[in-house]
């Protein structure tokens, strides 16, 4: 059996490290990483375990390292984060290098709810990722571009932090509207596992691989947290969905450059409305992966 070379950019980040771990654990695979000059120490453990390292950075003058990264690779994965210069410009350069090298599959840094179902302008970062997806369709050539979409990250820093559906510190759950639309949650670890499985899949996947660890309404999310933690949450109703629209507009108009003020509310709005719902869910494509539920995650984290 030929060795599959999986090239990864962003391998020192939270999700990237987990993807790297999954690829390294797979038989018949070789992990190759793009690492900035001077940052090799960040991936020292991955290199010790067998990862190949190509020194270089995305951006201007990256043609040579990107070519070296992509040469002979089966799949190129991007787990980078950033603004348009990274998600658009740098990823387009990476895709072009993959296409030139004859790479079969490219997995960009999409990793979110279904951005293709959210109206443009509703989530600023989704707009950037959709802009890349549009360019990728025109630029990909024979490369299969697969967007791994996983809903919201089931993580302390996201569900219980950045988006703040539940604040464990105050014992409060927050909602706008009635919260009756199911919301999709997937852990970083499960997202990484599905990504690695897609990277080594011998069969065509299609434009989207939608995966979900758990799908719960707001009341069901509260119930799952309470059951797992043994704690009772106070539910704070912040207003109607129109009130949420108004609040986002107020924050966006007041300080448009500081999108961290309103981006969490944009993501939460999309979920509360049922926009961006993962459908179809393709977990069954990789049945050996048993994704973590909200209740299981809360139990494991000891909230």
The full set of domains in the chain, from first to last, is 4-150+187-211+276-289 (3.40.50.720), 158-181+216-273 (no CATH)
Q: Where are the alpha helices (DSSP H) in the chain?
A: 14-25, 44-48, 63-70, 84, 91-101, 124-139, 188-199, 218-229, 241-254, 263-273, 294-301
pLDDT for 79-105, tens place per residue? 999 999 999 999 999 999 999 999 999
DSSP run (H or E) holding 55: strand 52-55
| Residue 152 bridge partners (DSSP) | 185
CA distance 111 to 10: 13
Token pair for 231: 């704690």
Res 60 pLDDT > 80: no
Give pLDDT, residue 1: 61
- pLDDT band for position 260 (cuts 50, 70, 90): confident
Res 67 pLDDT > 80: yes
């Amino acid at each position: 059996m030929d060795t599959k070379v999986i090239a990864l950019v962003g391998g020192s980040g939270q999700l990237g490290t987990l993807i790297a771990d999954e690829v390294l654990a797979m038989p018949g695979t070789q992990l190759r990483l793009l690492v900035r000059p001077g940052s090799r120490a960040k991936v020292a453990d991955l290199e010790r375990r067998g990862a190949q390292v190509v020194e270089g950075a995305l951006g201007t003058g990256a043609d040579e390292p990107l070519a070296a990264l992509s040469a002979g690779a089966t799949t190129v994965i991007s787990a980078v984060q950033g603004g348009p210069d990274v998600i658009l410009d740098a990823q387009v350069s990476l895709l072009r290098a993959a296409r030139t090298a004859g790479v079969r599959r490219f997995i960009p840094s999409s990793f979110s709810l279904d951005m293709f179902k959210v109206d443009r302008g509703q989530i600023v970062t989704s707009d950037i990722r959709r802009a890349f997806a549009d360019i990728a369709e025109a630029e990909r050539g024979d490369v299969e571009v697969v967007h791994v979409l996983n809903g919201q990250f089931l993580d302390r820093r996201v569900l219980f932090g950045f988006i703040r559906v539940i604040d464990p510190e105050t014992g409060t759950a927050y909602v706008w509207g009635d919260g009756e639309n199911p919301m999709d949650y997937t852990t970083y670890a499960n997202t990484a596992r599905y990504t690695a499985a897609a990277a080594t899949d011998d069969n065509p996947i299609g434009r989207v691989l939608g995966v979900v660890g758990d799908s719960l309404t707001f009341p069901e999310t509260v119930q799952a947290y309470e059951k797992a933690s043994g704690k009772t949450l106070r539910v704070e109703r912040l207003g109607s969905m129109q009130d949420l629209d108004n609040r986002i507009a107020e924050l966006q108009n007041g300080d448009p450059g500081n999108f961290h003020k309103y981006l969490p509310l944009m993501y939460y709005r999309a979920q509360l409305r049922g926009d961006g719902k993962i459908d179809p869910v393709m977990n069954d494509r990789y049945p050996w992966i048993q994704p973590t539920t909200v209740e299981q995650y809360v139990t494991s984290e000891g909230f």
